[in-house]
A and B are shown apart, each in its own frame.
Chain A
Amino acid sequence: MTTLQVLAPGLLTTVQDLGREGFGPLGVSPSGAADSLSLRLGNRLVGNLEGAAALEMTLLGGTFLFSESAVIALAGSDFGATLDDTPVELYRSVEVRAGKTLRLGPTKSGARCYLCVRGGFDVELFLGSASTHLLCGLGGHEGRALRKGDVLKIWPASGTHQRRRISSQVLARFAPRKILRVTAGPQGGCFAPGAWELLFSSAYRVAEESNRMGIRLQGPAIPTDSAGEMITEGVSLGAIQIPPGGLPIIPFVEQQTTGGYPKIANVISADLPSLGQLRPRDEIRFELVGAEAAHAMLLEQEALLASEEMFVP
């Protein structure tokens, strides 16, 4: 059996897949990869189903030892990976021989890098998913971030693997965005026009205390006086909530399932993966689009993902 041994865990490395949907009535949020697009691309490169369990590394990557030969792909941000001192390119399937060490460092671009392995990681599923839910200590590898000395099993894979990478033209179209497109949120109509103007004319900085539960923003406070009191309700992933202080909080993959802050807008589906690449102190802006445009952007992204032409030898 092939295993991966954790020699150094990095800052926050967890097992993630595409999350567990369907347990909202229990108060369970989906969790899953913060940048689902990168996870999907990485898995496709090594010939996995796109939702196979992989490692999500945050800001600083780990060091890993492979017990047997394996095929891997790194996707997302550039963490300066090397395989026994040879640089490893992102978005390319790479054969790793038994006993080799993969070493990742601090990020050179965005917040997260994914290590996908042919076969996928074999962890016990919780509510049908391998993803780690850090807050409640469930799923993934023992419900927690990886530590030095952990050993993860890798599922065996059948068939042969064709080495391939993703074309740079396609990658350019998947590049994480700093101008996030949003549609109006369910309480959008309760905010004064001045609040809207402010949201779309200002730059916001990602606060240090942002994590997989939520992304907190710093910048001009959005006035909520006209939004009034609201009754707690279900919260969508990527909503732009405005708490009484006026600084937006965006609920993220490990979000609270319900909340009582008014939501002025919501990041569109096509741009949700970009949220997963935001680092503390990154500057972002918002741009309003209509529901039809948001849908068209998602269709375009999915069509690109579905095409085999994105792979080149």
Chain B
Amino acid sequence: MRYNRAAMVTSTAGGAQFQYASDRSLLIYFGREIKPRAHEELRKLLCLLEREPIVGVCNLHPAYCSLLVKFDPLRLRHEQLEALLREYLSRLGTVNLPDAKHVEIPVCYGGEFGPDLPGVCELHGLTTAQAIELHTSTEYLVYFLGFVPGFAYLGELPPELVTPRLDSPRRSVPLGSVGIAGNQTGVYPFATPGGWRLIGRTPTPLFRAERDDFSLLSIGDRVRFTAISAEQFAELERA
């Protein structure tokens, strides 16, 4: 069998493009760039699919400008799903997204909690105070939750803080660590391996099985970080 590369993109609908991903999943791209407009379209489709679920669709994985739709291949075929999704896409104009939830996350910057902060400051010629000021001055958009439960991809960082990820990832990043990578920032909800540069830590739990909604953050939320002292961190952690 020859590798038919041209046949892999299935088709487009309006601005969206369908792509075969596996024998039980289909990707929908809203452009190939991280753009607020694309993200809004994506959220509208996600919203519609959660409101009016398609029988046979078993999971949805939103990202910056794409949605991976996993389905039961015994109940749906790619072509059928695509036809159904085209109809959903044609109705995006009628979807009103809920108002963004605003969330504040307290962070103790630097020291043992943010071992990469000195390096980040050095790279950009910033003082610690300036770097903290930059990180806390911006309101970030939750583009999506991914990687591990409750991990929110937040963007964008002020350009002065844009830093590449570590050359080799840490084997275990402590829970609650606040990291930056490229123009993104995020908080590790669990102790996991990770390659983002750690600048601080929050005592606020990001994902809890006991919470009604499990995750502190969800797609479309707006997030602001506030600087706290080590004493405040200890106090909040106890609370």
**Please, which residue of chain A has its CB at the minimum distance from the CB of B8?**
A189
Contact partner, B22, options A26, A126, A239, Cβ 8 Å: A239
**Number of chain B interface residues as a range:** 35 or more
Q: A27, B62: Cβ atoms under 8 Å?
A: no
**Please, which residue of chain B has its CB at the minimum distance from the CB of A190?**
B5
Residues of A within 8 A of B65 (CB): 231
Contact partner, B5, options A25, A188, A298, A299, Cβ 8 Å: A188
Q: How far is the CA of A185 from the CA of B50 in the complex (A)?
A: 26
Contact partner, A193, options B3, B32, B146, Cβ 8 Å: B3
Query: Does A97 lie at the interface of the complex (its beta carbon under 8 Å from any beta carbon of B)?
Result: no
- Chain A nearest Cβ from B211, distance in angstroms: 11
* Contact bitstring A266-291, B, C-beta under 8 A = 1, else 0: 11110000000000000000001111
Contact of A236 with B3 at beta-carbon distance under 8 Å, contacts A186-B20, A186-B21 already known? no
Residues of B within 8 A of A241 (CB): none
Contact of A23 with B59 at beta-carbon distance under 8 Å, contacts A136-B149, A269-B73 already known? yes
Q: A236, B21: Cβ atoms under 8 Å?
A: yes
Q: A24, B20: Cβ atoms under 8 Å?
A: no
Query: Does B113 lie at the interface of the complex (its beta carbon under 8 Å from any beta carbon of A)?
Result: no
Interface of A is mostly: mixed
Residues of B within 8 A of A298 (CB): 23, 73-74
Which A3-51 residues have C-beta < 8 A from chain B? 21-28, 30
Q: A231, B63: Cβ atoms under 8 Å?
A: yes
Contact partner, A135, options B146, B190, B209, Cβ 8 Å: B190
Contact of A235 with B218 at beta-carbon distance under 8 Å, contacts A21-B58, A138-B209, A291-B78 already known? no
Q: A28, B68: Cβ atoms under 8 Å?
A: no
Q: B27, A186: Cβ atoms under 8 Å?
A: yes
Contact of A27 with B73 at beta-carbon distance under 8 Å, contacts A135-B148, A234-B61, A266-B23 already known? no
Query: Does A150 lie at the interface of the complex (its beta carbon under 8 Å from any beta carbon of B)?
Result: no
Q: B218, A25: Cβ atoms under 8 Å?
A: yes
